A and B are shown apart, each in its own frame.
Chain A
Amino acid sequence: MTSIDAGPADQRRDTRPPAAGSAQTTAPGATATRPLLEVDQLRVHFATPAGLVRAVDGVSLSVRAGEVLGVVGESGSGKTVMSRRAMGLVGPGTTTRLSGTVRYDGTEISALPPAELSKLWGSEMAMILQDPMTSLNPVKRVGEQIGESLRRHLGLDRAAAHQRAVQLLRSVGLSEPERRVRQYPHELSGGMRQRVTIAIALSCDPRLLFADEPTTALDVTVQAQILELLARQQAEHRMAMMIVTHDLRVVRGHTDRVVVMYAGKVVEAAPTRTLFAAPRMPYTEALMNAVPPLTGSNHAVLRVIPGRPPNLLAPPPGCAFAPRCASAQERCLTEMPPLRSAADLAGASPGGSAAGAPAGGPAPAIAGTPDDHVYRCWYPVGTEAGDEARRTNIERGHTAAGTPILAEAV
């Protein structure tokens, strides 16, 4: 336990209702110091018979204590591999090439051997996976599975672990916890199983929780309950959380900050409210527009994103989103835009989007200014350059990448 973190007794005392929203739960004291998790220029490349797959390609991000970070992206964007690498679950191998660093609470953990890492797992960082059926051991009772980490990390004996398991199951809202601890996973429904995995993840009071699509396999009513449970536990334990998901509605309601990934790279990052009020990256905007609305009349024609995500074996030379982007210009096809911050843009002369970026320079670290809004685009949405790029494409009827564009579709 470090100075950032209150002791267990203090955590328990904090029983503010979750309704306050996670934005408020980031206590001022928790934000002042360095981030709990810092990921810097992370790369995970897989060598396959077909070539090198750049699953994660230079991702930098940070999570502060008590903060909920959402990582959004479509399948294949690298969000899951990134989160697993950040936790140390993806190690070097003959076909796995890694670079970049991961620092947890100031200590570099990316180079730690598995034995050292496993000391952190459970007690410092924990993970909830998408499919609660496959992440539980089908031949072990629920109680044993919860007790395993308690005994290993906290040194509890069998009886104490059992007792704690019952408490944990009660705290995650399972009915009849005394009976549940003796049951096997197959005797539980999907929602109950996910509660069990949450109980396991929370059993040793981790300070950082990775939740990889925690509700994707669940029904909407169960999803609401699990999200509420996570929000409450997060607030009570002042836990930092990284929610990896493809669901923009989940991200919007349950995170403080969002990182949008595309083709293994961060393409936009901002505080949640800022992002939804004014996305800069055309991909983010397009994703929001592709979700069927819950207001207005039905049979709305959805604004589609043409094409599909790029092949990670041979990503396009410029911006990976350019072939699908309504704003794409010639520059986007050849030159990869760096991550720039909205503040840089304000400093640059209006319209001179290129001037704002140190050409070819390294992407500025996100960790330094956590509230910053950064994006990877030459012609950001809502700027003069962006508007003009979009106008140009509408006038010529196609983008620089040759993708046809219809005025009414933009």
Chain B
Amino acid sequence: MQQIINFIIRNKTFLLFLLLFSISLSFTIQSHSYHKSKFINSANFLTGGIYNYVSNVNRYFSLKKQNDILAQENNRLKSILFNSKSTKNQNYIDSLSFSHTYKFTSGIVLKNSYSSSKNTLLLNKGSLDSIKEDFGVISTKGIVGIIDHTSKHYATVLSILNTSSKISAQLKKTNHFGTLTWNGISPYYTQLLDIPKIAPVKVGDTIVSSGRSSIFPKGIPVGTIHDFKLDAAENYYEINVKLFNDMTNIEYVYVIENTDIQEITNLLNPNKNE
């Protein structure tokens, strides 16, 4: 017993180092799996408050650019509004014209990152604005990510520029769908995997969200095909998608709530509902 205590006292520096190092490693490994990192996230009172303050200052520097983006969007929406003859029978091809299944909340990005391989955003809306985990986040041009954690006033978003994010997406022309992932290299391109070889893939085709995950509605624009190749087994395409969104410059976003999600999950997992 005496020797054990002596050993601990002699090596206390090393043991403390080992303890702290393993704690931080476990945090790191936790953060690699979705929704697991419980306390190490920036959606808390202190960090959210500081980022809110910083963002209030920073927002002045991009006012002109954001105005341009808003004007562009208004322009696009107006052209759709005045050119549509029969609004009743229109299919839901545009990102903002869904039936009431989807509820939109606008938010402001307080913190954006795109240089690391696990990128997250911080929004100024939280659980008090009835935002919950697994809601989709889009900007005026396309998909941004999925809500990861929420606190009372803030929420973190798992960006599509995160190597652990997986979003279902499809070709706009046909219904062949695949998984949208990111390889961590360029913030302007993401990768669409598992598109079957039989699908008619062409450079320049549009990729949209598929609506299969019930997080995003069908038809939200993602990007265009930049280049593609067959994977190692030669059964599926690996497609490089050039994003419509400039992920390095995002300020105003919309959070999408699917109000039918409970019904859909109950229907898909009837056994769990007993």
Q: Do A and B come from the same complex?
A: no
